[in-house]
Amino acid sequence: MGQVIRLEMNNWLYDAGLVGLYNIFKEAEDQVIINDNYIEFDSDLLEDFETKYFNYFINKYECLLSWYKITSYKNAIVYHEESDFTEFDESSLDNLNRYIKDVKYYIKSNSYKSAYNLIDKDIYILNLSKKLSTINIKKKQDIKDIIPKVKESFNVLKDIIEFLNMNSSKKYIAAKNVIYTIIKNAWDGVCFLNPRTKEKDMYVDYKNYFISPTKEYISIDKSKFKYNCFVCDREMKDFKNDLSFLTNTGFDTSRKSSHVWNFNNDVTTCPICKLIYSCSPAGIIYVHNSGIYINDNSSMESAITINNKVKSEILKGHEITHSLTYRALVNSIKDQFTDSSKYELSDVQVVRYSEGKYLFNILSRRTLDIIYNSREDLNKLLNCGFKEANIYFNIYDLVIENLFNNQNLFLLTHKLLVYKLTNPKNARFNVSQLIKVQNINFKFMRGVGYMGNLEHDLVKKANRDGYFLRKEYKERKAENKLSGISYRLLNALKVNNKDMFMDTILNCYLYVQKTVPQIFLDGLTDDVAFKTIGYAFVSGLIEGKQVINKDENGGVINE
């Protein structure tokens, strides 16, 4: 038995490291004690920790690795060979050609080349990749004529996949993958991420840089040490270790001494804390250069539970998008509501990693309530968005980001309506989904104290009135006028001009010889209600596939 090491919760990044350390030990089936605000483990568990460290990332993120992307094609090869290529069609050929391009790219990449020297087998993998080339169907040929070439490519690919599936290949190539796709997001510039490191084996390098100093520190007599760790206050001999290796968090004390009091550096850590920080990418969830960490510091168990729920939700499938990061968070919030026996939901800090920077939001109880109560509307927004300047924006992401920042959705609603009018081809959403955004905004505005005396179905009623006005114009074959009317109404809403809005509304209802709906009177006394009613009404005016249902009184509802 070694020494018992007790690690207490501290700042958010250190806590992420504790969650990561726990996850690494759990993946290795090691015994770790979790208490209120700390974890404990035996120092003997640090034996071969470098292997446990990489195994965690490789196992957890396997479906995101280029190694997996190459080796998983074996299933397609087996399928076509067993069916004697009877199912191999042009779509299969397109997939094969894309796969060949990917294989040739990865096999020749620098990170793969640097791993080949560490693999215990004499195989000329680069020569194999040279034998691969895309296959084209020439004129007067059909798919059957190129099957012999497909079989040749399959034979080469099987050799490549066999090589990559060896234990030593997966150990080093997959480790290279996780270094540059996951670990590098949290820390950089030291150990195997130091471009000038002399040690080529990343396992040995990690052991020498993080594990060995920690073991030595645990075993030596510290009674004569006169310095203290900046994070945990443990005794230290010198100021050798700083936090400059942490991405966009630490700073180089030798170059930026102005960041510390009186230019005298005291921002230094003990080897144990440095090891914990190196485990932070196992606590933070990183996918596609973005990440998320829920800083639930009410207890160690809470921090582990909610972050692992988010991670499990994100890594469920192989098709992982930015939206899934947010959806996983929303689903975890839902779990907190339904799991109140474990802990009471309170204000939560959400740390997001995007474009190399950490972004911080405090999700209040009110915001969490709104997200939870809007979960059905949010689910309808997952697969819709719009294209702007060749960039696709997901509406789900935009709505969640606004809620995170405690911003209403009026500006987003206005933008979506304008896009629906001016650029319908790039507006990949329907009117029903616009109403979902407005429903969420209605709940948000109520949550911050507006429209408390108005009806819950305000948005639905206003949208229905807009739909029926459109119907009247269609019956009079004046549908072409609605676009200009919608623009005038949107302009009035944007500048909060009630007079302009109501003048347009009155003219419209005079034209169709109908009474102006009572709902507009409710909007004249309250600016927020005016915008809510106005945008819902314009949504009903805009062209789109309408789903008509009966309400409880037999009336028609446009959804």
Residues 160 and 145 in one domain: yes
Residues 53 and 190 in one domain: yes
Per the CB < 8 A criterion, the answer to whether 536 and 520 are in contact is no
Residues 88 and 56 in one domain: no
Q: What are residue 67's phi and psi, to 5 degrees?
A: -55, -45
Per the CB < 8 A criterion, the answer to whether 382 and 395 are in contact is no
Per the CB < 8 A criterion, the answer to whether 103 and 85 are in contact is no
Domain-located, residue 367 = no
Residues 22 and 121 in one domain: no
Q: Measured between alpha carbons, how far is residue 433 from residues 229, 342, 399, 455 in Å?
A: 53, 35, 12, 21
Give the number of C-alpha atoms closer than 13 A to the C-alpha of residue 213, restricted to the C-beta side: 18
Domain-located, residue 325 = no
pLDDT of residue 317: 56
Domain-located, residue 370 = no
Q: Which two tokens stand for residue 250?
A: 């630490």
Per the CB < 8 A criterion, the answer to whether 21 and 214 are in contact is no
The pTM assigned to this predicted structure is: 0.80
How many structural domains is the chain composed of? 3
**Crossing angle of helices 458-475 and 431-447, rounded to 10°:** 150
Q: Which two tokens stand for residue 375?
A: 């979960």
Tokens 């206003």 label which residue? 462
Residues 457 and 507 in one domain: yes
Residues 454 and 537 in one domain: yes
**Domain that residue 91 falls in:** 64-176
Residues 54 and 75 in one domain: no
Residues 56 and 71 in one domain: no
Residues 245 and 267 in one domain: yes
Residues 439 and 546 in one domain: yes
Residue 356, C-beta contacts closer than 8 angstroms, at least 6 positions apart: 247, 248
Domain-located, residue 352 = no
Counting beta carbons within 10 angstroms of the beta carbon of residue 249, is it exposed (0 to 12), middle (13 to 18) or buried (19 or more)? middle
pLDDT of residue 258: 54
Residues 159 and 244 in one domain: no
Domain-located, residue 313 = no
Domain-located, residue 317 = no
Q: Name all contacts of 31-38 with Cβ < 8 Å and 24+ positions apart.
A: 34/300, 34/301, 34/304, 35/300, 36/299, 36/300, 37/8, 37/9, 37/299, 37/300, 38/6, 38/7, 38/8, 38/9, 38/300
Q: What are residue 81's phi and psi, to 5 degrees?
A: -70, -40
Q: Which two tokens stand for residue 49?
A: 């920790």
Per the CB < 8 A criterion, the answer to whether 241 and 269 are in contact is yes
Which one of 262, 282, 302 terminates a domain? 282
Q: Which two tokens stand for residue 451?
A: 């429209």
Neighbours of 414 (CB within 10 A): 18
Domain-located, residue 314 = no
pLDDT tens series, the chain, 559 aa:
779 999 999 999 999 999 999 999 999 999 999 998 999 999 999 999 999 999 999 999 999 899 999 999 999 999 999 999 999 999 999 999 999 999 999 999 999 999 998 987 656 788 888 899 999 988 888 888 999 999 999 999 999 999 999 999 999 999 999 999 999 999 999 999 999 999 999 999 999 999 999 999 999 998 888 888 888 989 988 877 778 888 887 655 555 655 555 556 667 789 999 999 999 999 998 887 788 898 988 899 989 988 998 888 778 754 444 555 666 667 666 565 544 433 344 567 888 888 788 888 887 778 878 888 888 898 899 888 998 888 888 898 899 889 888 899 999 999 999 998 988 888 889 888 999 999 999 999 988 888 766 777 888 889 999 999 999 999 999 988 999 999 999 999 999 899 999 999 999 999 999 999 888 887 777 888 889 999 999 999 986 434 444 443 334 334 4
pLDDT of residue 313: 78
Amino acid at 421: L
Which one of 153, 176, 199 terminates a domain? 176
Domain-located, residue 83 = yes
Question: Of 17, 20, 43, 11, which is closest to residue 267 (Cα–Cα)?
Answer: 11
Which one of 282, 300, 319 terminates a domain? 282
Give the number of C-alpha atoms closer than 13 A to the C-alpha of residue 165, restricted to the C-beta side: 11
Q: How far is CA 111 from the centre of its chain?
A: 25
- List b or e across 368-387, with b for residues whose CB sees 16 or more CB atoms inside 10 angstroms: bebbbebeebbebbbebbbe
Question: Of 70, 57, 69, 18, which is closest to residue 41 (Cα–Cα)?
Answer: 18
pLDDT of residue 333: 61
Residues 167 and 91 in one domain: yes
